[in-house]
């Protein structure tokens, strides 16, 4: 009969000793056993950057606009953490016909506005130059240095030549 209460006292004593040992363990040892935060969750301040210029729908400026938006989104991952926030931010930078086009998608609750890649693909089909190769070849033929520095001429030539391949 005394065997059961003695066993309970022994078990309780062991439990108290384990708790005392845990209480004496430094927090650094406890923290070492925790999973580290992923790098993208680190609380480093995001860089302040200028928003891209508004895009009115000019095919010649489309690729530059999208690249500027993607750079901004990549540099501020905490601010632009979801696809819908990215798409809404891009839509806020549209003007003119491109603004009307995107707002029509919003009014229709088109699911494409919830997915960044889908939205950019659709926007590219509307506003990217479908004849980029021909446009670049024509631009190279018309390219003249004139009175500007040779570096500017070379930069323009390189920019157009990439799209002729």
Give pLDDT tens digits for 27-70: 555 455 555 545 555 566 888 889 999 999 999 899 999 999 99
Q: What is the pTM of this model?
A: 0.64
DSSP characters over 8-49: HHHHHHHHHHHHHHHHHS-HHHHHHHSPPPPGGG--PPPPP-
pLDDT for 98 beyond 70: yes
Q: How far apart are CA 164 and CA 140, in angstroms?
A: 9
pLDDT of residue 58: 93
Helix (H) or strand (E) holding 136: helix 132-142
Q: How far apart are CA 52 and CA 72, in angstroms?
A: 8
Give pLDDT tens digits for 119-160: 999 999 999 988 888 888 888 899 899 999 999 988 988 888
φ, ψ for residue 94 (rounded to 5)?
-95, 155
Q: Averaged over 84-111, what is the pLDDT? A: 96
DSSP 114: G
């Amino acid at each position: 009969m005394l065997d059961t209460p003695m066993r309970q006292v022994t078990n309780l004593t062991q439990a108290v000793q384990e708790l005392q040992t845990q209480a004496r363990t430094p927090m650094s040892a406890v923290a070492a056993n925790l999973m580290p935060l992923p790098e993208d969750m680190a609380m480093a301040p995001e860089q302040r950057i200028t928003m891209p210029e508004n895009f009115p729908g000019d095919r010649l400026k489309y690729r530059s606009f999208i690249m500027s938006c993607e750079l901004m989104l990549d540099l501020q991952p905490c601010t632009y953490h979801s696809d819908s926030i990215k798409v809404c931010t891009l839509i806020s930078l549209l003007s003119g016909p491109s603004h009307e086009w995107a707002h029509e998608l919003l009014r229709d609750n088109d699911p494409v506005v919830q997915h960044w890649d889908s939205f950019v693909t659709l926007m590219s089909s509307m506003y990217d130059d479908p004849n980029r190769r021909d446009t670049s070849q024509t631009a190279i033929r018309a390219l003249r240095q004139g009175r500007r520095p040779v570096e500017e001429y070379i930069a323009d030539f390189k920019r157009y030549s990439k799209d002729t391949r």
